[in-house]
Structure 1
Amino acid sequence: MKLLSSEIKNKVLESMIKIIDGKREQILKANQKDLDAFNKDDQALYDRLVVDNHKIDGMIQAIQEVRNQEDPVGKTISDLTLESGLKITNKTAPFGTILIIYESRPDVTIEAAVLAFKANNKILLKGGKEALQSNIVLKECWHEALEENGLSKDWIKLLHLQREETREFLKNPTEKLDLIVPRGGERLIKFVKDHASCAVLVSGRGNNFLYVAKDADWDKTVKVIVNAKTNKISGCNALDKVLIDKHIPNYENKLVELQQVLSNLNVDTLVDKNIGQVIENAPTVSNEDTWYEEFLALKILLAEVNDEDEAIEMINKYSGGHSAAILTESNDSAAKFMEQVDSAAVYHNASTRFTDGGQMGVGAELAISTDKLHHRGPLGLKQLVTNKYYVFGDGHIRE
């Protein structure tokens, strides 16, 4: 694969900023067609589909941020000269071709592609049919920017494949694939993993937990729970499950207060059988599958635990490995929780909504990886490279 200079890549991004800004009306009209054709029953998916001027500003900002970041390709990781005189240099290198499969969000057509392109990867975009018109216009913006700078449109392609065609492409790709990143729910991730013939980097699944320790500051706790649950229900970093230590002072009163606060915000509350004895009007969890579920809705599950150990055990069993938080005034309890909970991001006295590239100082992100290889957490520009060894000899042979 041809390595592009940082200069030419940045010129493409500069062109892209101007093109998107100049085509706002065209982008908004295309998005309105998608919105008009969409079944609004799925509010979370609908929210992700909407493009307005604020979203377009966000696209432009993402491109600007990536344009200003250092090129991640060709950076020396290690440089050794052995006693034999053999010189071994390890450098960052592009993956090659990355396929990104995503649902609903047209802004991913910009944010994912800009990261992959700056890291010198060819990008194949497979957006959901619900965002087709929006994605077509955004793809045309990419192609205009590439051609304006003398590059082939093949660097960024939008795939138009039905489900069966996608399955066949994953099994028998018509061009070389090096990495697939599915961004979406569990069904999409399972579909890709079941059929892919190359590496898959799992991202997007939340099912995030928060544990309220017995010494938690209650005002702080309610504030964090409300933010983590209601700030953006369609976010993979939204809160789904709250585990409450039964030894907190005024336990029953606080449960009732929390349920009332959530009810006033139109949040549906599920409870386990123990909390159900206190909050009698709330439906009780009857199926263990609910514990594994990412809600993506104004819905939350409240459950009782005996102590921190039980909370850690439950989180490691049921969560999606995305984000988990502890509310406690004890640094020791927080340290134990954060070390033992197996999630990409762990929090002490803070909302899970901060698991985001921009919020964590990474910048624009391709996704939030819940895999452990090759990276976990926000996948920013620096994480979209692999590595390559360069070995220099002078007739060296291995004895």
Structure 2
Amino acid sequence: MILSTQTKNAVLNDLATLIADHSSEIIKANKSDLEKAGDLDPTLVDRLKVDEKKVQGMVASVHEVIGLEDPEGKILSSYDHPNGMKVENRVVPFGKILIIYESRPDVTIEAAVSAFKSGNKILLKGGKEARQSNLELVALWKKALAQNEVSEDYVEYLDIDRETTQKLLAENTHKLDLIIPRGGEGLINYIKQTTSVPLMISGRGNNFVYVHDNADFEMASDVILNGKSRLSVCNAIDKVLFNENIPQLEEKINGLVSKAKALGLDVHGDQKITSFDASVTEAEVEGLMPEEFLSEKILFVSTSGIEEAIATINEYSGGHSAVIISSDDESATLFQYEVDCAAVYHNASSRFTDGGQFGFGAEIAISTQKLHFRGPVGLAQLVSNKWFIKGNGQTRG
């Protein structure tokens, strides 16, 4: 059964109202999760915590999706065959999607609203650390669906153990059409090796900024520090490459290090950077380059120029986001075309790699693969296509 856009939006509008009306219950359930979190990593606690602001963010993300065009059924191309057949290519949902994610209860809302409006059914497998929060939110989903006489199986929460999850992945017991793993490389690699279901990879960050020799350094400092304004997100900055020909580089590095340390950042650097500022921890650069920090740590490295910077980023980054700070378009264009990342910025923060910031509201993931889609994935990307052919008895000779 194809749901009309009006019905989908009615469900989502009720969901937004229910979330707002039950904010205290959501926060209470989340407090229960936080109390059980124990010695959970601080970055995971940051992702796990739900406060009034997070609840408001969930409500806003639902309303954003209500305002977006429904992609389901859209005609991509149409052809009138000489024999009288009508040949159309239309947008269709994937079908049934499983998302596996850790810590973040807001994904239970944001992922599901995008999947639902694009016509998919979604199975949610959240981490055990967010169990009470997720169950509370899915109960609201069920209520919104029921209020509009829509099947509750559009949104399902898999409250299952590890063994059952492994069986699901290996045997595709739920007849999945797509799996979206959101987590570390260990989780992603395990799922790759275990299942035959197609994956949309929401990979790691390890994002870079390259500061060109003609950069506005004040702008560069603002962009770099904004890139560490949240530590637990995949669009945060971990590495900064400074062109060694930047005028007064030592003085500028000293000023940036002072600002970074004032914000509580743990600054590491190569030998050239540490020779400029003794307060910077000298790093074993090769060992740190591939690492996604998800912490206060940031690595400053000198580089000979744009070509070396591009090569370094392409070797070590997670393929998520990269930034060039430069005062000319020629170097920026070279960088943006040659750097192999899903989102490549000229003179702007990597923190904008987010569905809401790109204009399509809630996102289900940020894809770092090249097929089927790349970058923030919202409802317009959670679809496939199919050929619809209408004839009146045509046969091929």
TM-score (normalizing by structure 2): 0.96
Map residues 346-365 of structure 1 onto 2, 5 A cutoff: 346-365=344-363
2:252 & 2:169 partners in 1: Cα distance?
50
Quick check: 1:294 aligned with 2:292? Answer: yes
Say which of 346, 358, 377 aligns to 2:375: 377
Say which of 321, 324, 327 aligns to 1:329: 327
Q: Deviations over 1:204-263 (max 9, x none)?
A: 41110000111111111111111112x111111100100011011112222222222211
Quick check: 1:182 aligned with 2:161? Answer: no
Moved more, 99-108 or 251-260: 251-260
| Contact kept? 1:40, 1:46, Cα under 8 Å | no
1:19 & 1:267 partners in 2: Cα distance?
39
Secondary structure of the residue aligned to 1:390 is strand
CA-based RMSD of the aligned residues comes to 1.5
Identity %: 49
Shift of 1:392: 2.0
Moved more, 267-276 or 205-214: 267-276
Could you tell me which residue of structure 2 aligns to residue 318 of structure 1?
A: 316
Could you tell me which residue of structure 1 aligns to residue 6 of structure 2?
A: 7
- 5+ residue gaps, structure 1: none
1:298 & 1:287 partners in 2: Cα distance?
17
2:243 & 2:80 partners in 1: Cα distance?
56
Could you tell me which residue of structure 2 aligns to residue 44 of structure 1?
A: 43
2:314 & 2:114 partners in 1: Cα distance?
31
Could you tell me which residue of structure 2 aligns to residue 249 of structure 1?
A: 247
**How many corresponding residue pairs?**
397
Could you tell me which residue of structure 1 aligns to residue 118 of structure 2?
A: 119
2:24 & 2:360 partners in 1: Cα distance?
31
Could you tell me which residue of structure 2 aligns to residue 85 of structure 1?
A: 84
Secondary structure of the residue aligned to 1:277 is helix
Secondary structure of the residue aligned to 1:146 is helix
Moved runs in structure 1, 4+ residues, more than 6 A?
none
| Contact kept? 1:212, 1:245, Cα under 8 Å | yes
Secondary structure of the residue aligned to 1:263 is helix
1:16 & 1:212 partners in 2: Cα distance?
44
Map residues 18-97 of structure 1 onto 2, 5 A cutoff: 18-97=17-96
Shift of 1:289: 4.2
1:84 & 1:312 partners in 2: Cα distance?
53
Quick check: 1:146 aligned with 2:145? Answer: yes
Moved more, 196-205 or 127-136: 196-205
Quick check: 1:258 aligned with 2:256? Answer: yes
1:335 & 1:182 partners in 2: Cα distance?
32
Secondary structure of the residue aligned to 1:124 is strand
1:76 & 1:238 partners in 2: Cα distance?
37
Shift of 1:172: 0.9
| Amino acid in structure 2 at the alignment position of 1:215 | N
Moved more, 341-350 or 258-267: 258-267
Could you tell me which residue of structure 2 aligns to residue 192 of structure 1?
A: 191
Could you tell me which residue of structure 2 aligns to residue 216 of structure 1?
A: 215
| Contact kept? 2:73, 2:92, Cα under 8 Å | yes
Moved more, 334-343 or 288-297: 288-297
Q: Deviations over 1:28-84 (max 9, x none)?
A: 110100011113551111111111111111111111111222211000000001223
| Amino acid in structure 1 at the alignment position of 2:142 | H
| Contact kept? 2:203, 2:318, Cα under 8 Å | no
| Contact kept? 2:64, 2:360, Cα under 8 Å | no
| Contact kept? 1:326, 1:347, Cα under 8 Å | yes
Shift of 1:281: 4.3
Moved more, 160-169 or 276-285: 276-285
Shift of 1:279: 3.4
Shift of 1:287: 6.3
Could you tell me which residue of structure 2 aligns to residue 274 of structure 1?
A: 272
Secondary structure of the residue aligned to 2:116 is helix
